[in-house]
Amino acid sequence: QVQLVESGGGLVQPGGSLRLSCAASGSIFSINAMGWYRQAPGKQREVVATISSGGYTNYADSVKDRFTISRDNAKSTVYLQMNSLKPEDTAVYFCNADGYSDYMPYVEFWGQGTQVTVSS
Protein backbone atom coordinates (compact mmCIF):
# COMPACT_ATOMS: atom_id res chain seq x y z
CA GLN A 1 0.00 0.00 0.00
CA VAL A 2 1.28 3.44 -1.04
CA GLN A 3 -0.48 6.69 -0.27
CA LEU A 4 0.28 9.91 -2.14
CA VAL A 5 -0.49 13.20 -0.44
CA GLU A 6 -0.41 16.41 -2.49
CA SER A 7 -0.13 20.00 -1.35
CA GLY A 8 0.53 23.44 -2.78
CA GLY A 9 -2.44 24.06 -5.04
CA GLY A 10 -4.40 27.28 -4.96
CA LEU A 11 -5.30 30.47 -6.76
CA VAL A 12 -2.66 32.51 -8.55
CA GLN A 13 -2.54 35.43 -10.96
CA PRO A 14 -1.40 34.91 -14.56
CA GLY A 15 2.36 35.09 -14.64
CA GLY A 16 2.63 33.92 -11.06
CA SER A 17 4.19 30.80 -9.59
CA LEU A 18 3.20 27.81 -7.47
CA ARG A 19 5.05 24.77 -6.23
CA LEU A 20 3.24 21.48 -5.79
CA SER A 21 4.51 18.74 -3.51
CA CYS A 22 3.59 15.08 -3.31
CA ALA A 23 4.85 12.77 -0.59
CA ALA A 24 4.59 9.00 -0.82
CA SER A 25 4.13 6.87 2.26
CA GLY A 26 3.98 3.13 2.73
CA SER A 27 6.55 0.38 2.45
CA ILE A 28 5.02 -2.56 0.59
CA PHE A 29 5.96 -1.30 -2.87
CA SER A 30 9.11 0.31 -4.14
CA ILE A 31 8.62 3.49 -6.15
CA ASN A 32 10.10 3.89 -9.61
CA ALA A 33 8.96 6.82 -11.76
CA MET A 34 6.79 9.65 -10.48
CA GLY A 35 4.91 12.33 -12.32
CA TRP A 36 2.27 15.00 -12.46
CA TYR A 37 -0.90 14.85 -14.52
CA ARG A 38 -3.73 17.32 -14.87
CA GLN A 39 -7.34 17.29 -15.92
CA ALA A 40 -9.58 20.19 -16.84
CA PRO A 41 -13.38 19.88 -17.07
CA GLY A 42 -14.44 18.15 -20.27
CA LYS A 43 -10.91 17.11 -21.13
CA GLN A 44 -8.86 13.96 -20.83
CA ARG A 45 -6.26 13.64 -18.13
CA GLU A 46 -2.89 14.52 -19.60
CA VAL A 47 0.68 14.11 -18.52
CA VAL A 48 2.42 17.29 -17.42
CA ALA A 49 5.84 16.03 -16.39
CA THR A 50 7.51 12.82 -15.30
CA ILE A 51 10.76 11.97 -13.58
CA SER A 52 12.53 8.64 -13.34
CA SER A 53 14.17 7.21 -10.26
CA GLY A 54 17.48 8.39 -11.69
CA GLY A 55 16.28 11.95 -12.21
CA TYR A 56 15.59 11.96 -15.94
CA THR A 57 12.71 14.25 -16.81
CA ASN A 58 10.31 14.94 -19.62
CA TYR A 59 7.61 17.54 -20.10
CA ALA A 60 4.54 18.26 -22.12
CA ASP A 61 5.24 20.80 -24.84
CA SER A 62 2.73 23.19 -23.30
CA VAL A 63 4.71 23.50 -20.06
CA LYS A 64 8.27 23.08 -21.27
CA ASP A 65 10.52 25.94 -20.11
CA ARG A 66 7.93 27.02 -17.53
CA PHE A 67 7.56 24.00 -15.22
CA THR A 68 10.26 22.00 -13.47
CA ILE A 69 9.80 18.58 -11.91
CA SER A 70 12.17 17.30 -9.24
CA ARG A 71 12.27 14.65 -6.56
CA ASP A 72 13.87 13.90 -3.23
CA ASN A 73 14.27 10.15 -3.02
CA ALA A 74 15.23 10.25 0.65
CA LYS A 75 11.85 11.84 1.41
CA SER A 76 9.93 9.97 -1.30
CA THR A 77 8.65 13.33 -2.48
CA VAL A 78 8.15 14.80 -5.94
CA TYR A 79 7.77 18.52 -6.66
CA LEU A 80 6.44 20.58 -9.52
CA GLN A 81 7.64 24.16 -9.73
CA MET A 82 5.27 26.10 -11.96
CA ASN A 83 6.33 29.51 -13.25
CA SER A 84 4.76 31.95 -15.72
CA LEU A 85 1.37 30.39 -15.12
CA LYS A 86 -1.34 30.86 -17.72
CA PRO A 87 -5.13 30.52 -17.48
CA GLU A 88 -4.77 27.43 -19.66
CA ASP A 89 -2.91 25.76 -16.79
CA THR A 90 -6.07 25.74 -14.67
CA ALA A 91 -6.88 22.13 -13.80
CA VAL A 92 -6.88 19.53 -11.08
CA TYR A 93 -3.33 18.28 -10.74
CA PHE A 94 -2.72 14.67 -9.76
CA CYS A 95 0.43 13.10 -8.44
CA ASN A 96 1.30 9.70 -9.87
CA ALA A 97 3.79 7.02 -8.97
CA ASP A 98 4.50 3.61 -10.36
CA GLY A 99 5.86 0.90 -8.16
CA TYR A 100 6.79 -2.73 -7.97
CA SER A 101 7.12 -5.59 -5.51
CA ASP A 102 8.31 -9.18 -5.58
CA TYR A 103 4.86 -10.25 -6.79
CA MET A 104 3.59 -7.27 -8.77
CA PRO A 105 5.92 -6.00 -11.49
CA TYR A 106 3.96 -2.82 -12.15
CA VAL A 107 1.30 -0.95 -10.20
CA GLU A 108 0.15 2.66 -10.29
CA PHE A 109 -0.78 4.98 -7.43
CA TRP A 110 -2.63 8.27 -7.62
CA GLY A 111 -3.09 11.17 -5.27
CA GLN A 112 -6.44 12.78 -4.52
CA GLY A 113 -5.70 15.78 -6.71
CA THR A 114 -5.15 19.44 -5.93
CA GLN A 115 -6.86 22.35 -7.66
CA VAL A 116 -4.74 24.93 -9.45
CA THR A 117 -6.61 28.00 -10.63
CA VAL A 118 -4.95 30.75 -12.66
CA SER A 119 -7.18 33.81 -12.76
CA SER A 120 -7.75 35.65 -16.00
Give the amino acid at 67: F
Which residues, in sequence order, are CB contacts of 106 under 8 Å at separation 6+? Answer: 98, 99, 100
**Res. 27: pLDDT tops 90:** no
**pLDDT reported for residue 74:** 84
Distance of CA 28 to CAs 24, 31, 41, 70, Å? 12, 10, 34, 23
Question: Each residue of 60-106: pLDDT tens digit?
Answer: 999 999 999 999 988 889 999 999 999 999 999 999 999 888 888 89
What does the alpha-carbon distance between residue 79 and residue 111 come to, in Å, rounded to a whole number?
Answer: 13
Secondary structure of residue 101 in the 3-state scheme: coil
